[in-house]
Chains A and B, each alone.
Chain A
Amino acid sequence: MKLFTCDQARAAVSDLLAGDLGMADGRSLEAHLAGCDGCTRAAEVFFWQDRVLAELTAGDRLDTIMGRIRAGIANDTPKAVTDRVRAVRVPRPRWGMAAAAAAIFVVAVVGAIAFLRPTPPATGVAAQPHRQTPAFPAPVAPANEKPVIHDHPEYVPPPPKPRPGPAVAVEQKPRVPDRVEKRPEPPPPKSPDVPNPVKQPARVENKPDGVAPQIDLVKTPTLAVQFGVAYLRGRMARGVNREPRGDELILWTLIHSGVPESDPDVQRLLTSMLERKLEKTYNVALQAMILEDLDRVKHQGRIAQCAQFLVDNQAKNGQWGYGEPSIFVESVAVATKPAVAPAKAQKAVKEFPAAGSRGPKPEVKTFVRIRKMRPGPEGGDNSNTMYAALGLRACADAGIELDRAVLQLAYEWWRRAQVRESKTPAYGGEGWCYGGHDHGHRGYGSMTAGGVGSLVIYNYLLNRDWTRDQNVKNGMDWLAKNFTVTENPGPSEHGGRPGAALYYYLYALERAGILYGTEKIGRHEWYPRGVEMLLENQQTTGAWASRDGGNEIHDTCFAILFLRRAVPALPPPVATK
């Protein structure tokens, strides 16, 4: 490919606007613009000139154009534009057919091998591969069907960002001793086919306040995080995480574990994420959080696209479901700079700045207004909805101006959805479940913690004082009365057991505590208790796994995010009446 100088690139922009730029020169120009801010700005000026000239042209021809439109509407016999364009149809190679044939052949061969393979002994440990629990929720069920839901551990947690404004009230650093006295010997490598024994989470009693649990100095949060990251890298290297939608969660975890952006694993996940279409709520929310955390100015365009997706996917009742692509995303400007090329490969596991030490974020100088452009579905679920809240907050932090109506509707949803539990004193307080208050289910831990965090976020975005919000208070009361770090408390929904989604719950608990701005939920010091349990239950491989089912990779991510106190705290609430 020919490399352009700046002068050549600017002349090429002019040729492009004159409709006289060849394909090869087009590629060269694209490559040059990707790495040259000055020429990009020059191109913007030329395109702006072109826009003005074209608008003036259209203004001169407005009556002619309007006449054609009027005639078309009157006849309502639209003829495809593309039929009228003097087309030179370019024959395209039929790669699709060839690819399909190749795929069928491969599937047939693989199927035959699998069929002819001898059945492994049922009792053999090696015969049992890793548990295959989908990390992300299944496709959205039709609106009139009740979706079968699991308490998904697919969600990714929130990122930390220093917001402009008053100092954060919440102490950011872990209160647990983090000194490394000894480095534990790494466990011997295991065959990937041998399942890791899943430990039962040790019961950690809810000790009275003021008595912080004693933590073994050998098992520190920092070491546990390093070990967990090493596990994640190992799984990635073996290609175990075949669920591309889970990449955002892993990337979010790596970033919060102190792995630098230049790290090859981070670069690979980041590049692949930026190249993918925005399709699902969980992923898009996480993507917004990741980009806002990495560089909210450089990635503002893509973050704005995430905001457009989220806003367009808000359901009519204020919830979010799994989401569908929005065509309006394509019309939002995208950042013109590609991701930074990977620098030298670094061993990131050894680099652990303290939580929140990424440094000040670049100041947002331009603001992008995003408006809802299409109606959403009838409803969604509270799991997607809580992640949408995290994503919207990240967007707002990146200078995206969101419709107040969208925020208000989401806020109202969480208020309406709170389950009244006066008839179920066993659980006390008022919590949330996966659906609305009429969902026929009582509140439970993961959803209640997520509900509290979401309501705090919307209070914050709507400039209200969440500490005076009765729904928030009720949610915190529920969490206090049912506090535990060894199970997801409350009546398990969808046939699950208390040990299911434990780490998903813990990460939601961390968000509730940090976003609300408290180190205690009721009389319980949630962070030291959680750390104690996590250190006790990390497996020899470095992973964590819920004892009643879940995705080991995602559980590990949630555990690390808890240890790193990943969600960014909010500035103190604005006092309101």
Chain B
Amino acid sequence: MDSETKLLSAAKAGNAQAFERALRPHLPMLFAYSRAICGDFHAAEDVVQETSQIAYRKLNYLIPEADFAGWLKAIARRQALAARRKLTKASIVAENVIEKIYQDPTSAALDRRGEALEVCLKQLDGRAAEAVRAHYFDGVKLNELAPKLSMTPAAVRQMLHRVRLVLLECVQKRLGVESLT
């Protein structure tokens, strides 16, 4: 944190590189959070970009004792909600769950559970792996993905649901945690 504080001090003095270095560790969380809110891969990338630019412009409003990641997250939230309003008129669902999962801005992929999930992910194969890769890592929408997999969108949806359950079981086995049910 000390180094982040120093980087932010330098950034406030106009050092853009220092800002980039302070920002970089938080980008995955910002992307994931924005995607959870606005529900769109590409819009989430835009949200992250604009959040970063706003943060840089407003950096002098960041008080020293504030949590930088939390501050970024608050900006991203507003931008993501705005993006969502453009994409759909449906109100956000399970917002409380989202906020709870993202309460801790520390990257979830880097903790023990996150690492276990990454290992489990690598154990997927076949169309399941392909679907996860395309949907998550390339941002392909279900209705675009279905023809590529020679499946219906509903079948892809069901497959993704099963993949989540498989991943859940796999992580539980790796960590020895008790079943949800």
- Using a CB–CB distance below 8 Å, which chain A residues touch chain B? 10-11, 13-23, 26, 29-30, 33, 38, 40-62, 65-66, 68-70, 72-74, 76, 78-82, 84-90, 301, 327-328, 330-336, 368, 371-375, 403, 405
Contact = CB atoms under 8 A, between A and B. Distances in A.
B91 A51 contact: no
A90 B85 CA distance: 9
A376 B136 CA distance: 40
Contacts of B27: 58, 62, 65-66
B43 A68 contact: no
B50 A80 contact: yes
B85 to A, nearest CB: 7
A50 B36 contact: yes
Contacts of B101: 44, 47-48, 51
Interface string B79-99: 100110111111101101111
A375 B63 CA distance: 6
A51 B137 contact: no
A80 B47 CA distance: 9
Overall SS of chain A's interface: helix
Given A55-B29, A57-B31, A73 B137 contact: no
B121 interface: yes
Given A58-B32, A62-B24, A373-B66, A43 B94 contact: yes
Nearest to B49: A68
Given A57-B31, A80-B50, A373-B66, A26 B91 contact: yes
Contacts of A80: 50, 82
Interface in B118-149: 118, 121, 132, 135-137, 141-142
Interface of B: 16, 19-20, 23-24, 27-33, 35-36, 39-40, 42-50, 52-54, 56-57, 61, 63, 65-67, 70-71, 73-74, 77-79, 82-83, 85-91, 93-94, 96-103, 107-109, 113-114, 117-118, 121, 132, 135-137, 141-142, 153, 156-158, 160-161, 164, 167-168, 180-181
A56 B102 CA distance: 15
A557 to B, nearest CB: 31
Contacts of A29: 93-94
A54 B49 contact: no
Given A38-B180, A327-B78, A336 B100 contact: yes
A371 B28 contact: no
Contact of B109 (A15, A59, A85, A87): A59
Contact of B164 (A41, A46, A66): A46
A334 B99 contact: yes
Contacts of B164: 14, 17, 46, 49
